[in-house]
Amino acid sequence: MFELPQLPYAYDALEPYITKKTLEFHHDKHHQAYVDKVNGLVKGTGFEGAGLETIIQKADGGIFNNGAQVWNHTFYFDQFSNNPATAPEGNLAEAINRDFGDFEKFREAFANAAATLFGSGWAWLAANTDGSLEIVQTSNAANPLRDGKKPLLTCDVWEHAYYLDVQNKRPAYVGNFWKVLDWKVIEKRFSN
């Protein structure tokens, strides 16, 4: 059985950029609902006892959608801090410079991907099997793991991630996202 992971910070730690009210709804209501749904859906199937990455790579329909959303949300919430490193360093910084020109060009391209994704979904920075980095837009619950890519960071662009804070102003939310994204977390993901 899957369980809702605790946030690695207090509910008000990301204010004013992501408010306590948003985290309470996004984490405690939406994320919990995905956990509850996938737990109910996997009972008696070949996915009972499977990990979330197996579900992402092999399941379809409701099991995939809810399992992927549990994984995606956990990954999303774990990358924030109230005292974040605001830019990458070392090998990750070199890879970003190599593949995007420089950090600011990467930020612009990623912000554009997050702001312009039609409907609900996710913007990702992912590593390909050859080590190159790529910005990926996915709809609904889709995840780059399904395509053999390694997710490094993500921006949730479902409206429940930002509507209470900035209403329908997704670009404003994406601007706030950078202020709490902790590049130390992303560097660890890159090096593992």
Per-residue pLDDT reduced to its tens digit, 94-111: 999 999 999 999 999 999
**pLDDT at residue number 46:** 96
CA pair distance 150, 140, nearest whole angstrom: 18
Instruction: Return the C-alpha torsion angle 119, 125, 126, 132, nearest 10.
Output: 130
Q: What share of the chain is helix, strand, coil (3-state, %, to 5)?
A: 55, 10, 35
What's the whole-model pTM score? 0.97
pLDDT in tens, 73-102: 999 999 999 999 999 999 999 999 999 999
Q: 20-77: which CATH number, 3.10.20.30, 2.60.40.420, 1.10.287.990, 3.40.50.720?
A: 1.10.287.990
pLDDT tens track for 8-18: 999 999 999 99
What is the homologous superfamily of the domain 90-191 according to CATH?
Answer: Iron/manganese superoxide dismutase, C-terminal domain (3.55.40.20)
Tokens of 105: 């060009």
Contacts of 105 (CB under 8 A, 6+ apart): none
**Phi and psi torsions of 2, nearest 5°:** -85, 150
Report pLDDT digits (tens) over 126-138: 999 999 999 999 9
Q: How many CB atoms lie within 10 A of CB 163?
A: 16
Domain ranges for the chain: 20-77, 90-191
User: Looking at residue 169, what is its pLDDT?
Assistant: 96
Strand 150-156: give its sheet, edge to edge. 133-139, 121-127, 150-156
